[in-house]
Amino acid sequence: MSGNLWLLTAAIALTGPDGSTSIRDEVAVEHCNVNLKNDVAVAAQEAGILTEIDVREGDPIEEGDLLAKINDSKAQMAKLVAEAEHKVALAEAESDVSVRYSEKAYEVAKADHDLHAWANKKQPNSTPKAEMMKLKLGAEKGKLEIEKAELEQHVAALTSDAKDAAVQAAEDDIVRRRVTSPIAGIVVEVAKQKGEWVNPGDMVAQVVRLDKLRVSGELTFSNVDPASVIDRPVRLVATLTGGRQEEFVGKVVFVDPRVTPSGTFRILADVDNRQEGEVWLLHSGINNAEMFVQRGAGARPKQARSTAKKELTGER
């Protein structure tokens, strides 16, 4: 490709407010590989028998969709028990009957003591000293009964919280027996069947994401400043079946800070895929794709600007 043509297809001259000229250009990425961005082997979290398989190969799914279900009858019963115990504890925590009764009992005991104390003032020794001590003890006991009832109500509230946590734990046991997809994508493999036993970690299904693919490649450090391609737009040109070429757009998501012995550094870009009907155009494993990164705009030295301008205008 001649210098003029390269500049016309890979460089755009920009004039700033101060009259300075900058070049925004594209650089070709070497050794491009198109890979899956997300490829997840979805595994069981708990041991048990699969009671449901809700997907098959080729099914499109959304994040959180149910793939399979492990027998959860025991977990469901545990949840019912925990909910019943929580209701009992909550009722005890919300009831203040004991506190109100203790307060009334204290009022009666104190009034009885005060009445006898007043009578003794009017008529000394009308109530023996020992009897007065018993009446005072009864009043003090009534006061302590209030504190005891309040403590029991507080403990009931704490017990209610503990029972509520038990309900949450039972719900978590149920959720852990639901095998759901962590990503949106397509089911490419169903590894288990209904009625099979699974252990924690056993793969149930494999899900891949196709709406966005990951492309890796290399740039030459001596020619490209890594800082100039960080978060920059990319375009990918892929040759499909029958020699058909399609272009896809994306963005650089990672620039490797390490430079290889051969003087290159690695970049990763996420490229948006698209569909025709129900078929995705871009596929993982394509090895004939070409990717171009739009480098960040930056003023070039005066001599470089002059040369670029001459190349663009055809001046000699």
> At residue 316, does pLDDT exceed 80?
no
The mean pLDDT value for 69-73 works out to 94
C-alpha span between 137 and 34 (Å, rounded): 87
C-alpha span between 42 and 44 (Å, rounded): 7
Nearest to 250 by CA among 265, 231, 264: 231
> At residue 51, does pLDDT exceed 70?
yes
> At residue 13, does pLDDT exceed 90?
no
Tokens of 104: 């009334």
> pTM value?
0.66
C-alpha span between 60 and 187 (Å, rounded): 7
> What is the per-residue pLDDT for 263?
96
Ramachandran region, residue 15 (left: φ > 0; alpha: ψ -120 to 50; beta: rest)? beta
Domain 3-37+210-313 and domain 40-71+177-207 have a common topology:
no
Q: What is the pLDDT of residues 202-228, one digit of tens each?
A: 999 999 999 999 999 999 999 999 999
Contact 310, 260 (CB under 8 A): no
C-alpha span between 152 and 157 (Å, rounded): 9
C-beta contacts of 74-81 below 8 A and 24+ residues apart: 75/170, 75/173, 75/174, 75/177, 76/174, 78/170, 78/173, 79/167, 79/170, 79/171, 79/173, 79/174
The mean pLDDT value for 19-48 works out to 85
pLDDT band per the 50, 70, 90 thresholds, residue 307? very low
Contact 177, 72 (CB under 8 A): yes
Query: Among the CATH numbers 3.30.479.30, 2.40.50.100, 3.90.226.10, 2.40.30.170, which is that of 3-37+210-313?
Result: 2.40.30.170
Q: What is the pLDDT of residues 228-261, one digit of tens each?
A: 999 999 999 999 988 899 999 999 999 999 999 9
Q: Encode 192-221: b = buried (16+ Cβ within 10 Å), e = exposed.
A: beeeeebeeebbbbbbbbbebbbbbbbbee
Structural domain boundaries in the chain: 3-37+210-313, 40-71+177-207, 73-175
Q: What is the pLDDT of residues 152-172, one digit of tens each?
A: 778 878 888 888 888 899 899
The CATH T-level fold of domain 40-71+177-207 is OB fold (Dihydrolipoamide Acetyltransferase, E2P) (2.40.50)
Residues 6+ apart with CB under 8 A from 141: 109
> At residue 16, does pLDDT exceed 70?
no
C-alpha span between 39 and 45 (Å, rounded): 18
Q: What is the pLDDT of residues 253-294, one digit of tens each?
A: 999 999 999 999 999 999 999 999 888 999 999 888 999 999
